[in-house]
Structure formats: structure tokens, C-alpha cells
Amino acid sequence: MQTIGLIGGMSWESSAAYYELLNTGVEKRVGDLASAKTILSSVDFAEVTRLQEAEDWDGVARILVEAAQGVERAGADFLLLCTTTFHRVFDQVEAAVGIPVLHLADVVAEACKAAGVSQVGLLGTTFAMERSFFTERLASHGLTVHVPPADHHDTVNRIIYDELVHGRVVTKSRRTVVGLIEDLWDAGAGGVILGCTELELLVRQADADIPVFPCTSLHVEAALDRALG
């Protein structure tokens, strides 16, 4: 089994989900008392968020690069960034380490194509929906990406930052997000990407009538495929 490096803390709730899914996944695949070999470096979410809001991406990159190099030195064979928004500095992190880094958008795009979906909706933070770093990576795989109208972005962002990153799962917010999924379906999406790791705490496939692609779970499955090869 290879050792999986994790850069987490963005938020710690999503990092906890990664850790749980990796270990339950190994147990399911290997059996007995098997668990995942992981090395986790957890950054301060408040610090990187302040830098993000100030558009200080060099500052964000410095923090995540330092964390990634520490995980590499500790013996990780490959690396995951346990976040969507901070994939904005993926290239800097990848260039700073000598181990593979699994890009979340690449993993999700392959899952969409395997399901026969060429037009997908994306729900995530305002930053992820409005900037091109994630949608363009998805589009590079031949996908057409839809996002909700701009007047809904703050709503999704509020649900993520005011509720989900604090572990609060609110039924009214679930109905709101499911409504946006239905709107994206009407706009032509054949499936919807839950493009923020915390959104998986709120919405499951059973809540939607079209395919839902959960980023965290798909990232974990790709990591397990590599680790257990």
C-alpha cells in the first residue's frame, strides 16, 4: 500500500471526510484490520481564506507548498489537496514537489465522461464558480460546464461558509441546493458536480433526479486506486 499525502484544513470538516472515506475504503477493499496509510498536514483555514480574499495567491501558494513539501519529506508517495477553491495554486504545489499530485478536476472529469455526461453543472464556492481555474480544467477534458446564475452564487457561498464548514447541515439549505441542481438540469446539464468538498455533507444522490458527482468521494476513490494499485 502506498502512503497518501493530504493537505487539509480547508475546511477541517472536509478533511475529516477525506480521512474517514479513505479508511473505510481501504477496509472495504482489503478487509480485516486494514486502514489507509496517510500523512496529513492541516493548515489554518482562516489564514488561507484571508489571503484568498486579499487575492494574495502567492501567499496561499507559500503555505500550501510548505505543507506539501513537509508531507513529501514525511514519506508520502503522492498527494491530494483536500479542497476545491485552493486548487487555484495547484500548479505551484505540483511544481514544488517530486511526487504526483492528483488534480481534483481531472478525477471528476473522468467520472463524468465514464457516465456518458458531456454537459455538467458545477456548484461550489463563489470563487470556484466565477473564476476559470477549475471550470477550464474540466473543459480541457471536453466537458461543457454550466454554473448557476450569478445572483445565486452568494447563497451557495453562505451555505458553505456559514453552515457546512461548521458542521451544520440545514434542511432548508438542502432544498435550496437541490433546487439549483434542478435549474442546472433545465439549463442542459446531464449531471451536477458537487464542486466543494463540504457540499457532500448536505446533498446525496438520493436527493437529486440527475447524476450527482461528489468531488471528495471521487478524489478518494482515485487515491485508493493508486495506493492499492
How many whole angstroms separate alpha carbon 8 and alpha carbon 4?
Answer: 12
Cα dihedral sign, 71-73-76-80 = positive
- Per the listing, cell 446564475 goes with 149
Q: Where are the beta strands (DSSP E) in the chain?
A: 4-8, 38-42, 78-81, 119-123, 144-146, 191-194, 212-214
For residue 171, what is the DSSP state? H
Which positions are catalytic? 83, 196
DSSP H/E element including 109? helix 104-114
CA dist 28 and 47 (Å) reads: 36
